[in-house]
C-alpha cells in the first residue's frame, strides 16, 4: 500500500482530536482520513476542518485501520461497530474499555508487548491511560528483577473524563463528579465494586497483569481525580523478587523505550511539563533492597490514549516508532 492507508477516527472529542494530531505529527502513511461520529456535522480537529460522517456500518467500506476514540471508563462505539468494520476489512484499534480483558483480544503497549499483535483477529485494545504509563516503567524492572507487588496511587487529570470533565473544572459543572472538583481531590474514579475497588482501580490491576504476562501479580491501586486539565501522575511502589540498587534501576529507566528519566533525586516531572509530550517521565526514584519507589507522569490524552494507539498502528504496518 505504497500510497498509504485509509484511516477512520471514530469520535470527535478530546481523544479523537489528539488522534488526528498524532497521525499527522508522526506522519502516518494515509491516503484518506475519515472522521466519524454519532451525527454528521462539520468539526475542527487538531486545527483541521472535517466533514464528519455518521458512524454506521457502511462508513467503514474501504477503511484499512479504524481508531475508536472512546473516553475513560465509558462504553464505546466499538461494541456496536467493531465487527461491522472488521467484516469490511478494517483492523480496529479500540481505546474503550469494553474488550481489554477479552482473552481473544490483544491488549497492547508497544514498548512492552508488541509481540501480542501477532495474535489479533481484527481487533486490538488500547489500554487504560493510567495503566499505560505505569507498565512502560514496570516492564524493565520486571525483566531484570521480577515483580511481586505493586502499590500505586494515581492523580488523574479531568481531561480523562472527556470534555465534560474539562467543563467541570473550567466552568464549575457539577454533574460530572460525585463532589466538586475545583480546589478538591476525589478518590473515586468509576463505580465501586463489591470488593471496595473502583472500576479504574480494577482496570489497573487486571490490565497490568495481562500486558506484563503476570496473571498473579499483586496490584493495589487507589485512583484519584485532581483539578488538573491534562496529565496523569502516579506514585508507584514496587516489591521485586530480587534485590536492586539505585544505579541499576536508574540505568534501566534511562534505557527503557518510551521512558524519560527526569534527573537526580530532587528533580521531578509535573503534569504541566508533560502536557503535549508523547512519552512517560519518571523522577523521585528511591531504592532499598527489594523495594523501588518512583513518581511518573504522562499526558493522558497522548501516551495514555492517542499516541499509544498510533504506535500500535505503526507496529502493524512496519513504520518506525517513537519519532520525536
Q: What residues are labeled active site?
A: 129, 232
Handedness of CA 134, 163, 202, 112 (dihedral sign): negative
User: What are phi and psi for residue 314, nearest 5 degrees?
Assistant: -60, -40
Cell of 323: 519519532
**Three-state DSSP string of the chain:** CCCCEEEEEECCCHHHHHHHHHHHHCCCCEEEEEEEECCCEEEEECCEEEEEEECCHHHHCCCCEEEECCCCCCCCCHHHHHHHHHHCCCEEEECCCCCCCCCCCCEECHHHHHHHHHHCCCEEEECCHHHHHHHHHHHHHHHHHCEEEEEEEEEECHHHHCHHHHHHHHHCCCCCCCCCCCCCCECCCCCECCCCCEHHHHHHHHHHHHHHCCCCCEEEEEEEECCCCCCEEEEEEEEECCCCCHHHHHHHHHHCCCEEECCCCCCCCCHHHHCCCCCEEEEEEEEECCEEEEEEEECCCHHHHHHHHHHHHHHHHCCCCCCC
CA dihedral sign, ordered 300, 302, 308, 310:
positive
How far apart CA 217 and CA 187 sit, in angstroms, is: 23
Q: Which among 15, 27, 26 has a CA at the least distance from the CA of 35?
A: 15
Amino acid at each position: 500500500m505504497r500510497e498509504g492507508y485509509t484511516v477512520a477516527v471514530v469520535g470527535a472529542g478530546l481523544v479523537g482530536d489528539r488522534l488526528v494530531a498524532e497521525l499527522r505529527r508522526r506522519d502516518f502513511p494515509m491516503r484518506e482520513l475519515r472522521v466519524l461520529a454519532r451525527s454528521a456535522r462539520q468539526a475542527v480537529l487538531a486545527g483541521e476542518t472535517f466533514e464528519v460522517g455518521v458512524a454506521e456500518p457502511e462508513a467503514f467500506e474501504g477503511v484499512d485501520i479504524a481508531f475508536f476514540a472512546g473516553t475513560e471508563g465509558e462504553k464505546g462505539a466499538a461494541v456496536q461497530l467493531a465487527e461491522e468494520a472488521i467484516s469490511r476489512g478494517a483492523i480496529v484499534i479500540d481505546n474503550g474499555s469494553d474488550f481489554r480483558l477479552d482473552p481473544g483480544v490483544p491488549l497492547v503497549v508497544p514498548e512492552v508487548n508488541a509481540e501480542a499483535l501477532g495474535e489479533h483477529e481484527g481487533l486490538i485494545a488500547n489500554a487504560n491511560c493510567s495503566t499505560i504509563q505505569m507498565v512502560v516503567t514496570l516492564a524493565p524492572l520486571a525483566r531484570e528483577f521480577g515483580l511481586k507487588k505493586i502499590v500505586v496511587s494515581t492523580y488523574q487529570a479531568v481531561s480523562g473524563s472527556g470534555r465534560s470533565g474539562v467543563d467541570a473544572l473550567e466552568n464549575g459543572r457539577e454533574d460530572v463528579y460525585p463532589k466538586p472538583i475545583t480546589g478538591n481531590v476525589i478518590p473515586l474514579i468509576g463505580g465501586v465494586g463489591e470488593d471496595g475497588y473502583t472500576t479504574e482501580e480494577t482496570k489497573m490491576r487486571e490490565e497490568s497483569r495481562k500486558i506484563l504476562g503476570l496473571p498473579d501479580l499483586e496490584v493495589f491501586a487507589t485512583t484519584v481525580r485532581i483539578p488538573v486539565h491534562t496529565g496523569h501522575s502516579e506514585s508507584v511502589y514496587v516489591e521485586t523478587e530480587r534485590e536492586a540498587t539505585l544505579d541499576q534501576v536508574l540505568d534501566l529507566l534511562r534505557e527503557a523505550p518510551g521512558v524519560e528519566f527526569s534527573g537526580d533525586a530532587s528533580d521531578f516531572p509535573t503534569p504541566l511539563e508533560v502536557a503535549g509530550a508523547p512519552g512517560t517521565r519518571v523522577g523521585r526514584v528511591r531504592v532499598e533492597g527489594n523495594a523501588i519507589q518512583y513518581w511518573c507522569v504522562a499526558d493522558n490524552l497522548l501516551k495514555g490514549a492517542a499516541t499509544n494507539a498510533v504506535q500500535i498502528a505503526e507496529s502493524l504496518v512496519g513504520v518506525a516508532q517513537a519519532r520525536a
